[in-house]
């Protein structure tokens, strides 16, 4: 809006009509006092100000406007038919005017000047608003940076207080912070601790984790600087993400050396004990078989029954020792597979017959669902049979009141899928991922059902060596479905 200030009504009328003809919004004031009241109340883009007025003249009005922060930037054009001398024009500019027009005025030139100064004022306002927005944005960013700095300092303080070796890295994997414990294993904050020569290169797995954007968890042996010895640690590195992207990484090395040494001693004991037990057990089994032949020639007696029971228990003990030997082989990397093409359909039929004959005392019925497997599988047929028998044996053991087991077969994503479903006690969802761990047993069933918790651990390793996948689906009271997949080639 433009304010026209003049004490002559006819001048106000003519200027108002001229400006409105060009779509300008116009307000008027008949004196300097009225003009000052209006500019303090309203916002104007331009003021056209007559110089010679009774009371407060135009120069005084302009000087007063220049003293207010609200009106300091409003452009003022002086318009006069009387004060046309140079001294008046000079005073007009000195008092804050941006132009001084003397009458008579050419309407086209006048409108051109008004339009120009009006546009300049609007641009000035737009620039001022942009500056205000930018200043606000800068303040917001400064506040965000302060908050981020505080969070980083809090995180660093937390990492410093941990008993583990702890560190942070940027999105590219460059280490940006380490706690004091780091320097027990590394002389430089930017270099990972030295790993054992037999362990995988830490930089390689770290680079792979960064590339995939996935958390990293691995057992490694790292060298302690003071002693020069290697200690087992569990390395965990996780990404810190915003809504879409990774912002940084946080990692820890947890000392598990004592635990690992205990496991190694236990594995060594199991290996030695298993081998030592196998020799006398073989002799006992031979003597029992010899007794069975002798007694088979005699009429049926209580002795025959006892020998049969003893033979069953020796077979169970032999299977247990075999499992312990397999665990020892897995730990030492010596569980080898004899890969040969074989018919999975024939193997399934053999396993079902074995399970049915060895559990003839129960009313269990094995139901088959899925198509026949016509394509050969390359693998260790004996080890795959071991997995299947373990799955079926567990299905019978943990479903004592059930009379049905379902064997599922399917082809999924060019892989063979086999699953054994029971309708027994099931297990909680938080236990499912742990049942394949060594010596793990679900607490709810550990007291009721016998076992060492190594069968599924061995099965998992067998499937891994066949480049397959495995898992379990289960609900408490609804039964469990143990499955594995194998590639066709």
pLDDT tens-place values along the chain, 489 residues long: 888 888 888 888 888 888 888 888 889 988 888 888 888 888 888 888 888 888 888 888 888 888 787 777 788 888 777 666 777 777 777 777 778 887 777 788 888 888 888 888 778 778 888 888 888 888 888 888 887 777 777 777 877 888 889 998 998 889 888 898 999 999 998 888 999 998 888 888 888 888 888 898 888 999 999 999 999 999 999 998 877 788 889 989 999 998 888 877 776 776 666 666 666 777 777 777 777 777 666 666 667 777 777 766 777 676 666 666 666 666 666 678 889 999 999 999 999 988 887 776 677 889 999 999 988 999 989 889 989 998 998 898 888 878 899 999 999 888 999 999 999 888 888 777 788 887 665 544 444 445 556 788 888 989 998 999 999 998 888 899 999 999 987
pLDDT in tens, 109-153: 888 888 888 888 778 778 888 888 888 888 888 888 887 777 777
Q: In the CATH scheme, what architecture does the domain 162-255 have?
A: 2-Layer Sandwich (3.30)
| Token couple for 48 | 């056209």
pLDDT for 446: 40
pLDDT for 443: 46
pLDDT for 288: 76
Note whether 14 and 40 are within 8 A (CB).
Answer: no
Q: In the CATH scheme, what architecture does the domain 260-331 have?
A: Orthogonal Bundle (1.10)
Provide the residue ranges of all domains of the chain, joining segments of one domain with +.
2-128, 162-255, 260-331, 340-487
pLDDT for 286: 77
pLDDT for 228: 93
| Token couple for 359 | 């559990």
pLDDT for 50: 84
Between CA 105 and CA 113, with CA 110 as vertex, the angle to 5 degrees is 145
Q: In the CATH scheme, what architecture does the domain 340-487 have?
A: 2-Layer Sandwich (3.30)
pLDDT for 273: 64
> Is there a common fold for 2-128 and 260-331?
no
CATH for 2-128? 3.40.50.2300
Distances (CA, A) of 269 to 262, 275, 326, 453: 10, 10, 14, 17
Note whether 247 and 241 are within 8 A (CB).
Answer: yes
Task: Round to whole Å and give the CA distance between 214 and 246.
Answer: 10
- For residue 87, count CB atoms less than 10 angstroms from its CB and return exposed for 0-12, middle for 13-18, buried for 19 or more: exposed
State the DSSP code for 67: T
The sign of the CA dihedral 386, 388, 393, 398 is positive
Between CA 460 and CA 468, with CA 464 as vertex, the angle to 5 degrees is 105
| Token couple for 59 | 């120069």
| Residues linked to residue 478 through DSSP beta bridges, in sequence order | none
Looking up tokens 């002086």, which residue turns up?
78
């Amino acid at each position: 809006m433009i304010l026209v200030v003049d004490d002559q009504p006819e001048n106000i009328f003519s200027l108002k009509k001229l400006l409105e003809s060009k779509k300008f919004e116009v307000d008027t004031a008949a004196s300097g006092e009225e003009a000052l009241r209006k500019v303090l109340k309203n916002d104007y883009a331009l003021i056209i100000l007559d110089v010679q007025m009774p009371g407060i003249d135009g120069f005084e009005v302009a000087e007063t406007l220049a003293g207010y922060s609200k009106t300091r930037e409003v452009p003022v054009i002086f318009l006069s038919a009387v004060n046309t001398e140079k001294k008046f024009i000079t005073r007009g500019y000195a008092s804050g005017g941006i132009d001084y027009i003397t009458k008579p005025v050419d309407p086209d030139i006048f409108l051109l000047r008004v339009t120009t100064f009006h546009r300049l004022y609007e641009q000035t306002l737009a620039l001022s608003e942009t500056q205000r927005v930018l200043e606000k944005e800068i303040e917001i960013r400064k506040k965000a940076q302060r908050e981020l700095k505080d969070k980083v300092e809090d995180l660093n303080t937390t990492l410093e207080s941990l008993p583990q070796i702890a560190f942070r890295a940027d999105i590219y994997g460059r280490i940006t912070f380490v706690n004091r414990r780091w320097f027990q294993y590394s002389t430089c904050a930017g270099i990972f601790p030295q790993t054992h020569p037999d362990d995988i290169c830490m930089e390689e797995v770290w680079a792979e984790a960064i590339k995939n954007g996935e958390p990293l968890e691995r057992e490694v042996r790292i060298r302690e600087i003071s002693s020069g010895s290697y200690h087992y640690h569990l390395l965990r590195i996780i990404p810190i993400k915003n809504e879409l992207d990774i912002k940084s990484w946080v990692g820890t090395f947890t000392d598990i050396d004592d635990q690992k040494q205990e496991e190694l001693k236990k594995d060594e004991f199991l290996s030695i004990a298993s081998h030592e037990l196998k020799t006398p057990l073989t002799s006992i089994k031979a003597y029992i078989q010899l007794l069975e032949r002798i007694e088979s020639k005699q009429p049926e007696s209580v002795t025959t029954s006892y020998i049969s029971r003893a033979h069953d228990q020796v077979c169970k003990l032999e299977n247990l020792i075999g499992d312990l030997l397999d665990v020892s082989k897995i730990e030492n990397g010596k569980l080898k597979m004899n890969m040969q093409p074989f018919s999975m359909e024939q193997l399934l039929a053999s396993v079902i017959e074995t399970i049915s004959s060895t559990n003839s005392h129960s009313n269990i019925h094995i139901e088959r669902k899925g198509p026949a497997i016509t394509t050969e599988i390359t693998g260790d047929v004996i080890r795959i049979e071991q997995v299947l028998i373990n799955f079926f044996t567990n299905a019978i053991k943990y479903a004592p009141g059930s009379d049905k087991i379902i064997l599922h077969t399917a082809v999924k994503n060019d892989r063979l899928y086999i699953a054994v479903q029971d309708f027994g006690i099931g297990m909680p969802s938080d236990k499912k991922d742990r049942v394949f761990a060594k010596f793990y047993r679900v607490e709810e069933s550990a007291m009721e059902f016998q076992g060492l918790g190594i069968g599924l651990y061995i099965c998992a390793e067998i499937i891994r060596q066949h480049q397959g996948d495995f898992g379990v689906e289960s609900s408490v009271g609804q039964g469990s479905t143990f499955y594995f997949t194998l590639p066709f080639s």
